[in-house]
Amino acid sequence: MMLDKERSSLFKLFSSVKEELKNVASSFEKVVVAFSGGVDSTLALFIAICALGREKVIACTVDWGKYLPSQARRNVEALVREFGVKQVWIDGEKDIVSVARGGPACNRCTRKAKLGKIRAHFGEKVLIVGGFNRSDSWGMRGIKFFNGTFSPLFQFDKTTILKLAHFLEIPILRIGENEQREGCFLKHLLKPLASDFHGSAVAKSNAYLLNTLERSNFHARIANVKIIGTLRKNIALVNLSPSPPPTLRKTLDANLRAISEVDEIFWVEKPLTLVARANPGQYNNAEALYWIERGKLQPDFVVPITVRWLPSTNRRLNTFQVVDFEERRSSYEQQPTEAAVSILL
């Protein structure tokens, strides 16, 4: 239960960001919210409606096709009905595939396949509003207001966003991938999308996982299948927390192994070292490698990870590719037993 002091602080915060959005929007003909149905864009949409009125706001969702979870589509449609705002879908599957061919690149996808598509559809006279914030790399390294795109939550972290959403009694609809960030299967492909062999592996495995968990009424904190490996081999790393009951795990394992595009299945349960190759620009940039490891990869894994970085000579690789992994023994397992010590002595 919120204390009066906290409620007062959140109200002032809401009033401030609402007025800021109203002032920024006054120079534009329309306001379009890049809407994914997640908590960040839902809060941004709510603030826009409160600041401008629902008749002046459009919710726009870029449709990733088979890479958009069915749960995300359902949530978007439910929230649009709840808020009574006009909504537009834009086809973006070809665009996201084009970006992914060079390797994982969420920020580039946001700029080109999401914001770029919205800008091309609505023109230069609209203000695009997004939910970018301090909990993602865009919020940490981007700009709050740039080139007709405004991020009202730019200075907020996820904790503040959740508190504000709760205070405003905004419905939060989850997909089930991750409590922090979810909504696109391609973020789980940790190598270039060189062919449909890779795209189908990540789309089919993650869709099956989420659909099965939903039917089983199993609520996960983290649920995803990361696809790694060489371009000829798809290795699936299954992240699921909390651990499922044995019968559910057996069902999941059997059906994930039946996906023809998946060559190997590994359940992530102990700390891992990922072996990754990066293009020269990233490999020689310590800050970039840090954000990939801590900001992009770690939040989706159920165990601590490290990355062993290697340089890549693949000129088509724009970012990075996780080619393999090594399961690390815990510090407890590394301690020799008394029997082993007696033998050594």
Mean pLDDT of 208-232: 97
Q: β-pairing, 272-278 with 264-267?
A: unpaired
What is the structure's pLDDT at 343? 29
Indicate if 108 and 198 belong to the same structural domain: no
Cα–Cα distance for residue pair 294/114, rounded to 1 Å: 24
What is the structure's pLDDT at 323? 98
Domain assignment present for 296: yes
Indicate if 159 and 279 belong to the same structural domain: no
Mean pLDDT for all residues in the chain: 91
What is the structure's pLDDT at 335? 44
Domain assignment present for 60: yes
Indicate if 297 and 228 belong to the same structural domain: yes
Mean pLDDT of 120-140: 83
What share of the chain has pLDDT > 70, as a percent?
92
Indicate if 144 and 278 belong to the same structural domain: no
Give the pLDDT band (50/70/90) at residue 187: very high
- What is the domain extent for residue 81? 4-167
Token readout for 72 is 């995300």
- In degrees and rounded to multiples of 5, residue 40 shows phi and psi of -65, -50
Indicate if 236 and 310 belong to the same structural domain: yes
Interval 257-314: pLDDT, tens:
999 999 999 999 999 999 999 999 999 999 999 999 998 999 999 999 999 999 999 9
Domain assignment present for 257: yes
Indicate if 23 and 71 belong to the same structural domain: yes
Mean pLDDT of 23-52: 96
Domain assignment present for 64: yes
- Compute the chain's Rg from CA coordinates: 22
What is the structure's pLDDT at 333? 42
What predicted TM-score, i.e. pTM, was given to this entire model? 0.90
Indicate if 151 and 195 belong to the same structural domain: no
- Is omega for the bond preceding 242 within 30 degrees of 0, making it cis? yes
Domain assignment present for 126: yes
Give the pLDDT band (50/70/90) at residue 107: confident
What is the structure's pLDDT at 182? 83
Which CATH number is 275's domain given? 3.30.300
Which CATH number is 141's domain given? 3.40.50.620
The count of structural domains within the chain is 2
Mark which of 138, 167, 196 sits at the end of a domain: 167
Indicate if 242 and 315 belong to the same structural domain: yes
